[in-house]
Amino acid sequence: MKVFLTGATGYIGSAVAEALQIAGHQVTGLARSEQATQRLQALGFKVVRGDIHQPLKWVEVLSQVDGVIHLAATKDEKMPHSDRRAVEEMLSALTGTGKPFIYTSGTWILGNINSSVNEQSPLNPIPLMAWRLDIERQVLATKERQVRSVVLRPGMVYGRGGGLVAQLVAGGRHNGVVQFVGTGDNHWALIHVEDLARCYVKAIEQSPAGMVFNVVDECSLALREIAQAASQPAGVPGQIQSQSLEVARQQIGLLADGLVLDQQISNLHVRQLLDWEPIAPSLLEELKLGSYCQCHPN
């Protein structure tokens, strides 16, 4: 299968590109810069230059591929508008083709959870994620326009020394203490980046149209326990410190609300429908002996 991948050089995207290649697919990555272009070409991938701010400059390439995985993110105030426009243009190009389109959302769209939930549970997104609601609906509605549309909602992604966990470790190294937001009693829904990448491959190969999948490993951990474990590779064992949500909001904005969400989420749907299982090391294993022993902040 020829797969067009946005965000191909990102933390998740690079793992997805690698997993697609291993599975025998031909990857074409969207690259914003010459550096990204060279990086993708060195790995054996085809490249289209462009970014999600100007989709009309590259969307015509979708006629030459068999499916699309959308992972690109700008991480700025333009993201909601740019993502919406890029998705609209990509879905328009795919209408009537029956080709798969995999959209990346996230479990933060579920909000705070008092018990284990699944894909049918009500959505209560934090403000940082609220704009994704309409895009999820837009993507899923294209099932009626003969697009094999799928939404993946990854949990907190870890592994390969990256993600927000890397920032906990790096902060501990820099400050002499690992700081976490709130009481630390809330649970993070987790997924290893390599397990997530394999799920993208399964989704583009197998998923029926109109599906939503919560992609987690069902090994939710309390934030305080994560901070305690992160203090080891940070070189400050046992040195952890709570930070109030109010202070955190002043420092990192709306991201702080996601860090205090309490989420325990079922992955039964994705395991059954896509025949997928998480097999990568747990977060505690990664923090003890894995990639975070030499990690750097993203």
pLDDT at position 294 is: 67
The pTM of this model reads 0.96
Length of the chain counted residue by residue:
298
Q: How far, in Å, CA of 193 to CA of 204, rounded?
A: 17
Burial class of residue 122 (count of CB atoms within 10 Å of its CB; 0-12, 13-18, 19+):
exposed
Share of the chain above pLDDT 90, in %: 94
pLDDT at position 169 is: 98
Q: How far, in Å, CA of 206 to CA of 98, rounded?
A: 13
* Whether pLDDT at 296 is above 60: no
Task: Please state the rounded mean pLDDT for residues 90-107.
Answer: 98
pLDDT digits (tens, 9 = 90+) for 225-271: 999 999 999 999 999 999 999 999 999 999 999 999 999 999 999 99
Task: Please state the rounded mean pLDDT for residues 131-147.
Answer: 97
Tokens encoding 282: 């747990």
Q: How far, in Å, CA of 94 to CA of 64, rounded?
A: 11
- CA-based angle 157:163:164, to the nearest 5? 100
Which pLDDT band holds residue 114 (cuts at 50, 70, 90)?
A: confident
CB atoms within 10 A of CB 38: 12
Task: Please state the rounded mean pLDDT for residues 133-158.
Answer: 98
CA distance to 28, 82, 176, 287, 295, per residue, from 74 (Å): 19, 8, 31, 28, 23
* Whether pLDDT at 295 is above 60: no
Q: In the predicted model, what is the mean pLDDT of the chain?
A: 96
Residue type, 94: L
Reported as type and span, the H/E element at residue 134 is helix 132-141
pLDDT digits (tens, 9 = 90+) for 54-84: 999 999 999 999 999 999 988 888 999 999 9
